[in-house]
Structure 1
Amino acid sequence: MKKYGIAARCKKKRYIYPGKASTVVPNLLRAQQKQAENGTCVQKFEAEVVFSDIFEICLADRTKVRGCFALWKRTRHILSLAFDYRMQADLVVSAIEQMHFDVPGSIFHSDQGRQYGAAQTRAALLEKGFIRSMSRAGTPTDNGYAERFVGTFKQAVAERRRDRTLGHFLQASENWINFSHRLRPHEGLGNCSPDQFATNHGLPPAPYLSLL
């Protein structure tokens, strides 16, 4: 290499997402898991968990649309789904306010995006009775349920066809979400749909989710 003037390519420093939220809270789910592994948690953790995340899709004309959702871990129901052209705290607040989920003390888990640490988001969660929990910075596996939904949704709706208008995209999203609740089997639910699983366990099925 020295003879021919060849130099090794320097390895790029691994990027670590520092997180952007103004106020960060601990990952309650990971803390509980570590307690269980260490044998210090005697009673099983029974708090309900709602996962949330923000994602981006492009329409046929390359217009970017951002979405925010809330997913109930136990049944895999999508409790709310909001869209906007901007990725601001208002988007998250809209998703929170749409939720029909009256279980005080439930955990609301998200990443460390600034939208989830905003004052209006914290106020909306407090009003709903949620306890905040956040993933570690740069660790998407801490929010795996949300990440998996984003991948499935994009493949089934956003990438299957390029909608030319936001209205067409919202209609396609509404159709797929409600189909998923009623009929789409989930491996994590014993191949039951969310509504079937809820009925089998004495829980109410999700109301029709309207996006228009």
Structure 2
Amino acid sequence: MVVSIEQWHEHDDTLGHRKLAVLIKTGKNRVKRVMQKYGIAARRKKKKYIYPGKATQTAPNLVREMTEESLQQVVFSDIFEVHLADQSRVRGCFALEKQTRQILGLAFDYHMRADLVTSVIVSMTFHAPGAIWHSDQGKQYGAQSTRELLLQKGFLQSMSRAGTPTDNGFAERFVGTFKLAVAERRSYRTLGHFLRAAESWVNFLQYDTSS
């Protein structure tokens, strides 16, 4: 079993005994005992980065008004930052569907303008008229280009309350997981090196959530 654990950790060393148990198809307590015996531990996340820049055009928090029984689809989005080996800053934006946990779009660049968000929206093949697009109140999400594109795609725009990151907790958790599993795992000398690692992890994550 220890070999299987180490093999899965080659893909993602943030996996704990509960997730590993599902992947290996055995009991979580058994996996936990083996990890403790061989000194294998999941890497834990560091303190998250909080971004400034509030939108002048905001939207109501539609997600907060939903009931647990609601079948309305929700896509969460956020912008985050990672550092390469030379300390250059790379910004990422993603779209994540709540029900399936599927990553619908993911983009990276050295800037964090509105077109970082719109490039994700344009790349998506997701079609669900009336679905909610939820984000924080970042100015990139309040930009006219973003709002118009979401309207064209049939989304209802929703934003967290100001200064309330828990309103976008689903996206916040994804950012923390991505940073821990990819950005903080090793030092990346180039953007291309980082993008290949991100793509590999995303493909692994899609396999994990679909299994």
TM-score over 0.5 for the alignment? yes
Equivalent position of 1:150 in the other structure: 175
CA contact (8 A) 1:64 1:85 kept: yes
Equivalent position of 1:64 in the other structure: 89
Cα deviation code 1:111-145 (max 9, x no counterpart)? 00000000000111111110000000010000011
Give the superposition deviation at 1:32.
Answer: 2.6
SS of 1:109's partner is strand
Equivalent position of 2:65 in the other structure: 31
CA contact (8 A) 1:18 1:137 kept: no
**Structure number with larger C-alpha Rg:** 1
* Cα separation, 2, equivalents of 1:72 and 1:114: 22
Equivalent position of 2:111 in the other structure: 86
CA contact (8 A) 1:18 1:138 kept: no
Higher percent of residues as helix: 2
Equivalent position of 1:3 in the other structure: none
SS of 1:152's partner is helix
Alignment of 1:14-29 (within 5 A): 20-29=54-63
User: Which of 202, 207, 211 is equivalent to 1:177?
Assistant: 202
* Cα separation, 2, equivalents of 1:103 and 1:31: 19
Q: Please tell me the residue identity of whatever aligns with 2:142.
A: G
Aligned: 1:130 with 2:155: yes
User: Which of 132, 137, 140 is equivalent to 1:115?
Assistant: 140
RMSD over aligned Cα, in angstroms? 1.5
* Cα separation, 2, equivalents of 1:92 and 1:22: 16
TM-score by length of 2: 0.73
Aligned residues: percent identity? 65
User: Which of 127, 143, 153 is equivalent to 1:102?
Assistant: 127
* Cα separation, 2, equivalents of 1:82 and 1:58: 15
TM-score by length of 1: 0.73
State the number of aligned residues.
Answer: 161
Unaligned runs of 5+ in 1: 1-16, 37-43, 184-192, 197-212
CA contact (8 A) 1:19 1:137 kept: no
Give the superposition deviation at 1:85.
Answer: 0.5
